Amino acid sequence: MHLSLVLCAFGSNVAALAGPQSPELHVVTSSGSVNGIYNNSAHTVRAFLGIPYAEPPVGQLRWAPSRPKSPPRSPIDASSFSSPCPHVYRYSNESIWNVLPYMIWNSGDMSEDCLYMNIWAPSIEHRGNGEVHKAAVMMFIHGGSYDTGGSSVAYYDGTNLVQDHDDLIVVTFNYRLNVFGFPNAPDLDPSKQNLGLLDQRLAIEWVYENIAKFGGDPDRILLFGHSAGAASADIHSYAYPDNPIVRAIALHSGTAPLLTSAPDHRNWNEFSTAVGCGVGAQSFQCMKKVPAMKIVETRARGNYTFHPIVDNVLVFSDYGARAEMGKLARLPTLAGITGREYSAFLPLSQTSVDEIAIHVLGQQIYNCPLRESVR
């Protein structure tokens, strides 16, 4: 089942004119009071877009573990998406990703202040006047090789799923990417290098704590994702074997070992040098003062790889051995891949395709690791 068929496009994402005077559009959370909108003309779907779940990771909090958001004095306007996290979006006209509804809506408005989530929940009218049970929760982690992406992508919109099911809530969120999320810096504590994964965990904790206020069941959270998002969901099942919080996971084209890095700091040192901060004792403090967009521009000019770092705390070197020792959360798991997935990396103008090569690469990169992980 292809993800774009599951999370339907923003074509139905028409915000009806309704203010916070509607009681069900006003929700008090641990991040403060949020005012949402009706996300369709029938008023069956409530949307709360751009809810902060963490303090902005800026200034001295750049490359620090995310912290829970303190409530502001004023209500939060949750009627539009937040800025996506800094990344390089550079798909050419030859890429299938420019044909699919994959463009981040507000991609030109990137900001380090990006740790926000979106919630789509059924309205009271949609759920009816009878006995109402708490809705199941589908919490989605976006992909993008831990390097790019965001929660405001067209086919990540939860409107249609909620509109078609009165007992379902959909959640998407941003997390730090590339060098901002996985710096592999020599001056950082080895257990605090995987900041993007720590962001994800904080988002999961936020949903568990707050989702009942939106009509959701904190004990029925499905964590699912695509590509790096699927790998992330798998990582959490190993990193938190005794307290996964979620009750099930779904992996689409990704497992925990998909993209990982050794803790050798090579990419950080090369990147820091390219930015102008060099290496050594002053490098880290210098990098903390560099404007975010200069970091993004430097990333665009070079070939730097920042993936989850093997720290044997959140990310492990041998998942098979860890599974054999029982050190994983035993969760119901749904897994699959997209047929001929590797063909997405071919240029659109290519007139002949080696189908055997496409099949072999798909098996090696996606299907065989997925089968092994589920087994």
Name the active-site residue from 82, 123, 227, 237. 227
Active site residue 227: yes
Three-state SS at 362:
helix
CA trace torsion 225, 257, 259, 290 (10° rounding): 90
Three-state SS at 131:
coil
Cα 223 to Cα 237: distance, rounded to the nearest angstrom: 10
Evaluated on CA atoms 185, 62, 199, 255, the torsion sign reads: negative
Q: Number of C-alpha atoms within 13 angstroms, CB side, residue 103?
A: 12
Tokens describing residue 225: 């994702």
* Whether the Cβ atoms of residue 338 and residue 361 lie closer than 8 Å to each other: no
Cα 363 to Cα 369: distance, rounded to the nearest angstrom: 8
Tokens describing residue 187: 């001056």
Distance linking the first and last C-alpha atoms of the chain:
20
- In the chain, DSSP assigns E strands to 26-29, 32-35, 37-38, 45-52, 76-77, 116-122, 135-141, 168-173, 216-226, 248-252, 333-336
Nearest one of 228, 187, 203 to 87, comparing CA atoms = 228
DSSP per-residue string spanning 261-319:
B-S--HHHHHHHHHHT--SSTTHHHHHTTS-HHHHHHHHHHS------B--SSSS-S-H
Tokens describing residue 194: 């995987």
Catalytic residues: 227
